[in-house]
Structure 1
């Protein structure tokens, strides 16, 4: 009989609620403690677990694994403390903006024989695993064009808590590109802000182009400036067009009625599937994540290239 994996949460902000629901849905996991932020005490009391300091939760015998849900600048610190204390860790995206830090986390995890898994959550949805396998099996032939978008209106009171869509959102599309196609040859990108009284979010949006050796062109568009309210909204959209077939995915393919509104059920489902993989496949069965720390390092390098393309208005080669 397996014992449940006892999980500690470091970071008690909005995304912690998604991880709590995911842990509750995972047969072989339970929350053992929480830490971090002004909401930690309230959260611990609500779910009935101890509230510990960052150092305490990393070293606690109550905890087998950690979910690092802090802002990115604290990921490395807590991940390394947890790994060196023999804890498995799931590190929310973006794992780090330093490829050196990601490399050190990976090396430390191997040395201490624990799992270190990036929170690249979308790739664990069955629909996107199917896309990945279809591409690997050449069922779509050679992909000619891939489009990925994430667009919604970000209220100003939330926008001020983040850096921008190219920092806080784009990593999702980048790790999916890596899963589907690998590293591109070159990239260029543009960032604009939609100005005007009617747009109180500062209107940040980013467009990225990636070129692949086989001729594939990828276009990524992320925006906080506007909602897509059309009949087929591209809130989170992926379209792959190959010379022998095509596939598409929308996060709005599955909508459920709640007490107050319709909810995009696939958003929570990706956290559920990611947690099951982390606990059941990686920790209990010793398998690799679908998206690895090596992928997290490549996302970091791609992000640096995109920021350079935006700032210097150039095409970045040799990726």
Structure 2
């Protein structure tokens, strides 16, 4: 991203992670893009393996109506949000089952984020 010096925070972040077994994960986040291409900068997950690949993107669900900032609205699969809330209420609260993600998961994610920041700052790989 071009920065003329007026942007005080990063607007794009990328990291490559080497997982157990040697698999690579590429993480990328940006708020600054408004790309209308069919393979745009919205939330995306790609899995590429030796037996095939798949992808998921919020751009698969486009509301074709004017939004406040952009020319159209990319939204999450609204049924995903509905199903997540339903699972939490019906399974976790009513049936006392474990949530799909817990505070240990959040701590792990925070450790990964902090390791990425150290890696960028020091220019070295960080092992967790």
Q: Same fold by TM (over 0.5)?
A: yes
Match of 1:208 among 11, 15, 23: 15
- 1:301 maps to what in 2? 111
Aligned pairs (5 A) from 1:278-297: 278-297=88-107
Give the helix-richer structure, 1 or 2: 1
Question: SS where residue 314 of structure 1 aligns?
Answer: coil
Aligned pairs (5 A) from 1:268-279: 268-279=78-89
Distance 1:252 1:263 in 2: 9
Distance 2:7 2:119 in 1: 27
Distance 2:27 2:41 in 1: 12
State the 1:242 CA deviation.
Answer: 0.9
Q: TM-score, normalised by structure 2?
A: 0.80
Where structure 1 has 5 or more consecutive residues not aligned to the other structure, the ranges are 1-192
Where structure 2 has 5 or more consecutive residues not aligned to the other structure, the ranges are none
1:229 matched to 2:58? The reply is no
Distance 1:280 1:220 in 2: 32
State the 1:240 CA deviation.
Answer: 0.6
Instruction: Evaluate the alpha carbon distance shift between residue 242 and residue 291 of structure 1 in structure 2; reply closer, same or farther with a 3 A threshold.
Output: same
Distance 2:116 2:54 in 1: 26
Aligned pairs (5 A) from 1:68-79: none
Instruction: Evaluate the alpha carbon distance shift between residue 249 and residue 205 of structure 1 in structure 2; reply closer, same or farther with a 3 A threshold.
Output: same
State the 1:235 CA deviation.
Answer: 0.9
Distance 1:304 1:203 in 2: 15
Distance 2:84 2:62 in 1: 20
State the 1:196 CA deviation.
Answer: 2.3
- 2:4 maps to what in 1? 196
Instruction: Evaluate the alpha carbon distance shift between residue 200 and residue 267 of structure 1 in structure 2; reply closer, same or farther with a 3 A threshold.
Output: farther
Distance 2:43 2:11 in 1: 17
Question: CA offsets per residue over residues 96-136 of structure 1, 9 Å max, x none?
Answer: xxxxxxxxxxxxxxxxxxxxxxxxxxxxxxxxxxxxxxxxx
Question: CA offsets per residue over residues 150-195 of structure 1, 9 Å max, x none?
Answer: xxxxxxxxxxxxxxxxxxxxxxxxxxxxxxxxxxxxxxxxxxx731
